[in-house]
Amino acid sequence: MWNLVLAQAQDAAQGTAEGVTDGAAGAGAAPQAQMPSMLFMVVAFFFIMYFFMIRPNQKREKERKEMLASLSKGDKVVTTGGLCGTVVGLSEKIVVLRVSEEPGVKMEFLREAIMRVASREKSAKE
C-alpha cells in the first residue's frame, strides 16, 4: 500500500515539474475543467433537497390547512395533546370540543391544536 502512495507522490512531483516547464497554460486548465462538474453537483443537490424534503412538507401543510378549514360541528377530532372529542362549536381561531358525555364538559382549543379528524358525522340533512 505504501508503495502505491509513494508511486503516486512521485508521479505528482513529475507532473509538477513538467507543469513548470509548460507555463501558466497548463496550470489554469485543471480548475476550469472541474467547474462544470461541481456546478452540476450543486444543482443536483438542491434538486434532490427540494423534491425529497421541501415539496413533501409543503404538500402536508396544504392538506392540514384544508383539513382545519373543513372542520364542522359533529366531527370527532384528536388534538395534538392526544385528547379526543366532538366539535360542538367553531369560530375563526377557536374550536369547542365536548370531551365527555356528561353535560357541560366542554373545552376550548385553538384550531391549530387539532391534529386530525377521526370521523365525520353523517348528517341526515344530506
Q: Is 6's pLDDT higher than 70?
A: no
Give the tens place of pLDDT for each residue, 42-80. Answer: 999 999 999 899 999 999 999 999 999 999 999 999 999
Whose grid coordinates read 425529497?
52
- Radius of gyration for the chain, computed over Cα atoms and rounded to the nearest angstrom: 32
Give the tens place of pLDDT for each residue, 82-112. Answer: 999 999 999 999 999 999 888 888 999 999 9
- State percent of the chain over pLDDT 70: 70
Q: Where are the domains of the chain?
A: 27-70, 71-119
- State percent of the chain over pLDDT 90: 56
Residue 70 backbone phi and psi in degrees, to 5: -95, 10
Amino acid at 48: I
Check residues 23 and 37 and name the one with the higher pLDDT.
37
Q: Determine the CATH number of domain 71-119.
A: 2.30.30.30
- pTM for this one? 0.59
